[in-house]
Amino acid sequence: MKTKLFTNLFWGSLLFLVSCSNNSDYQPFVPSLPPITQTGANTFGCYIDGVLLTPRDGTGGLYGTPKGAKIIAGGVPPQITYTEIYIDDRKSDKGGLLRIHFENLNDMGVGEYIVNESNCQGNIDSRQNTNIYCRVFDSTAQVYKWYCSTENAGSIKVTKYENGILSGTFSCLLKSLDNPNEHIEITEGRFDFNRATISETDFP
Residues 91, 94: Cα–Cα separation, whole Å: 8
Number of domains the chain contains: 1
Q: Chain-wide mean pLDDT for the chain?
A: 89
Mean pLDDT throughout 102-120? 97
**3 is a domain residue:** no
pLDDT digits (tens, 9 = 90+) for 130-179: 999 999 999 999 999 999 999 999 999 999 999 999 999 999 999 999 99
**66 is a domain residue:** yes
Nearest to 115 by CA among 96, 97, 133, 98: 133
The Cα-based distances of 52 to 1, 82, 202 in angstroms read 59, 26, 18
Mean pLDDT throughout 14-27? 51
Band of pLDDT at residue 89, cut at 50, 70 and 90? very high
Distance of CA 139 to the CA centre of its chain: 19
Residues 106, 66: Cα–Cα separation, whole Å: 27
**168 is a domain residue:** yes
**30 is a domain residue:** no
Band of pLDDT at residue 26, cut at 50, 70 and 90? low
**17 is a domain residue:** no
**65 is a domain residue:** yes
pLDDT digits (tens, 9 = 90+) for 29-79: 788 999 999 999 999 999 999 999 999 999 876 677 899 999 999 987 778
**33 is a domain residue:** no
Residue 156, H or E segment: strand 143-162
Contact 116, 129 (CB under 8 A): yes
* Preceding peptide of 78 cis, ω within 30°: yes
**1 is a domain residue:** no
- The domain in which residue 118 lies consists of 40-200
